[in-house]
Amino acid sequence: MRYYREIFLTNRLFYAIGLVITSFCIAYAVPEFIYLAVAIIGFCVGAIGYDAFILFKLRSPITVKRETGKLFSLFDENPVHLEVESTASQILKVRILDEIPIQFQNRSFEILTDVLPGEKRRIDYELKPATRGEYWFGKTNAFLSTKVGFIERRIQYNEDYMVKVYPSFIQMRAFELMVFSADRMQAGIKRIRKLGHGYEFSDIRQYVIGDDPRTINWKASSRSSSIMVNNYQEERSQQIYAVINKSRVMRMPFNGLSLLDYAINSTLALQNIVLQNQDHAGLIVFSGKEENFLRAERKFNQRQRLLEALYNIEEDQQEANYQALYESTRKNIRGRSMLLLFTNFMSLNSLHRVLPILKQINRGHLLTLIFFENTELEAYIEEEPTDLLDMSTHVLASKLSNELTQVVYELRNAGIQAIQSKPEDLTANAINKYLELKSRGMI
């Protein structure tokens, strides 16, 4: 009974059966065709017997093993490896149907290959998840057939298992290499010229050409035979909070990923740079109320804590409560900190409603708003209108685009740092802003 469930009939067999039926039909008019029909039947029976012997003489003519990472990276190409090894004495045609997670909505995924006797082959493919969460892989179905190919034998491998999709740690590692490498200019990370110097005294050293004359230590120079200067180091161990608005304005999708997930990916990459720069990294997530607060620290496991907190963020249908955010910053954050707020504004009026609260937050901290440029709106504006209705729609779209541009000027006039970024450039722009504010000594 077990072998009966493993047998599948192929299209080639049905074509042969169709030929037999056609031969019998023609035999009504031309009796000689009956011999052709009988010959085809005999060939089909022999071919099926040959296929069954080759495919079932071994318990498992091939083995298929699937290898994936323990975690998948959101919106990145994650590799999946299949190792196919043959123990048969014949060339086998293999059709692999891998039961990939349902979130990919791919019901026609299959791999076709020929496997030589004793051959061990590696097959690679990639999956690009668009949402965070748990992804379940099912079994790997291998359909084996011979060159005759009248029947197939299905063998199932691998047990069901789950892979978690976390915020893009691949992007995080890439930006870490970009920021701390010499060729970071090629990746959009700017070299920020440091204005002045830090205020933390490091040591006294001998003057060399190019040193700032204002740092000369005249007392130390008078006690030695050469000019000595004070050496300062960059201020570190400052608190950097990423603040994520997870309300309904962040549900808007762009290129297959929601604005919230763009913000989450950028936060992970940014806070990794913050930790590498020896600052304290923290996280605030809010919508109708403060949902999650992770105190800014520089412990050895802070990166993992940030990763887990970002993984568990779920979109909310409520309006963002900026008053609750202000109260949370007053209650939970000690000392002046840099707050990088990832949010989105749909119009200028939406900014005016919350601008007084943003000003209050900016008095106690260095607030930087990072919101999104509506790239689809800009692309629509560039299209030529075709009729009167389309022209009126273009006028409204242009007005909305001008309002969103005005948001940046309104924030800067209020003394609040602001970035309007395309979703795909969000990470680079956020990191550049952090490096710029650090170099200017604004915190």
Give pTM, 2 decimals.
Answer: 0.81
Q: What is d(CA 201, CA 48) in angstroms, rounded to the nearest whole number?
A: 86
Which domains does the chain show, CATH number per domain?
1-166 (2.60.40.10), 169-193+235-439 (3.40.50.410), 200-233 (no CATH)
DSSP states along 200-263: EEEEEEE--TTS-GGGB-HHHHHTSSS-EEEEEE-----EEEEEEE-SGGG--EETTEEHHHHH
Give residue 2's pLDDT. 62
Which stretches of the chain score pLDDT less than 50?
A: 1, 182-183, 185-187, 194-196
Whether 68 and 163 have beta carbons less than 8 Å apart is answered as yes
Cα–Cα distance list, 78 to 109, 241, 344, 371, 428 (Å): 16, 29, 29, 28, 22
